[in-house]
């Protein structure tokens, strides 16, 4: 039976880029991992082995570095827009290009209480990311779509967290509690509205404010469940700005198990725990503006 190509994309992944921006008395450092995916007229490469429309993925890797050297972008979103346009304007056979960038966090080393201008240390395991895409038809580009986010933002609170009133059956062993440790490794994604993208917003500032709104809510919220706190954090992000209409949050419940010290003749009023990652609860939701 003959086969027909339904869809295809190809590109280059895990392109590592360290970009140093030198100012007069200060250096800025960005470490990005870039992925490029292209869709377009590539059927003959699959069905006939004809590579005449194929831009080598090694060329894509080199393009990442070339565009980075010329770029004045201060955010990974704006850099990705430049990278996409560079590829689209030189590749009429490409109908759409998507760039995903993951940022590794670096922070300045503090000396005598002051950030040193040219020395850095790795921050947390948090990753900040963005996916930027654009289509073109007959050489005419369409609008950009931009989804930003973060992952592995690990936070923990030691008070104002409870879990009671849940279903109990013959297999339920979990005890109710009004005082527990609540830890999670937050993943969040939010698409910017077309109006916000067209307006040329400051993506770094927007990300910081959205992130701060969620973290502040996590710390202050009187939590009755992970679900309730997740919703409150998403609600706070939406209330903070009108440049997004929805946000997705994934919050695994990273358990900290209370150690039974009674066999040693000791009380344990929520002081000694065993942190564990496996198994963990998984809670996710997409929250839209009402």
Total count of domains within the chain? 2
What is the per-residue pLDDT for 231?
98
Indicate whether 143 belongs to any domain. Answer: no
What does the angle CA 140 – CA 145 – CA 151 come to, to the nearest 5 degrees?
Answer: 150
Q: What residues are annotated to the active site?
A: 12, 57, 255
Boundary residue ending a domain (104, 134, 164): 134
Per-10-residue mean pLDDT of the chain, 290 residues long, equals 91 98 94 98 96 98 98 97 98 97 96 96 95 95 98 97 97 94 97 97 97 98 98 98 97 95 95 94 97
Same domain, 107 and 169: no
> Are 160 and 179 spatial neighbours (Cβ–Cβ below 8 Å)?
no
181: CB partners within 8 A, 6+ apart: 156, 157, 158, 161, 256, 270, 273
What does the angle CA 246 – CA 248 – CA 249 come to, to the nearest 5 degrees?
Answer: 140
Q: Provide the CATH number for the domain around residue 78.
A: 3.10.270.10
Same domain, 116 and 158: no
Domain carrying residue 56: 10-134
Q: Model pTM?
A: 0.93
Same domain, 127 and 191: no
């Amino acid at each position: 039976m003959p086969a027909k190509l339904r869809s295809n994309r190809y590109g280059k992944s895990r392109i590592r880029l360290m970009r140093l921006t030198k100012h007069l008395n200060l250096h800025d450092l960005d470490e990005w991992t870039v992925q490029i995916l292209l869709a377009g007229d590539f059927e003959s490469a699959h069905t006939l082995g004809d590579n005449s429309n194929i831009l080598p993925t090694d060329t894509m890797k080199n393009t990442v570095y070339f565009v980075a050297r010329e770029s004045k972008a201060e955010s990974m979103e704006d850099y990705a827009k430049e990278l996409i346009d560079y590829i689209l304007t030189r590749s009429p056979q490409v109908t759409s290009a998507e760039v995903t960038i993951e940022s590794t966090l670096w922070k300045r080393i503090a000396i005598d209480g002051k950030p040193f201008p040219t020395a850095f240390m790795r921050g947390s395991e948090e990753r900040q990311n963005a996916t930027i895409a654009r289509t073109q038809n007959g050489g005419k580009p369409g609008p950009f779509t931009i989804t930003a986010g973060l992952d592995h933002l690990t936070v923990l609170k030691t008070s104002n967290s409870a879990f009671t009133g849940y279903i109990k059956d013959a297999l339920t062993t979990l005890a109710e509690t009004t005082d527990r440790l609540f830890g999670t490794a937050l993943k969040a994604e939010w698409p910017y509205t077309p109006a916000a993208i067209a307006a040329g917003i400051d993506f770094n500032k927007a990300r910081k404010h959205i992130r701060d709104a969620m973290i502040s809510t996590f710390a202050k919220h009187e939590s009755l469940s992970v679900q309730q706190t997740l919703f409150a954090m998403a609600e706070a992000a939406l209330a903070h700005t009108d440049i997004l209409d929805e946000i997705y949050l994934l919050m695994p419940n990273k358990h900290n198990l209370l150690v039974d010290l009674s066999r040693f003749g000791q009380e344990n009023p929520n002081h000694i725990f065993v942190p564990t990652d496996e198994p963990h609860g998984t809670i996710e939701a997409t929250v839209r503006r009402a």
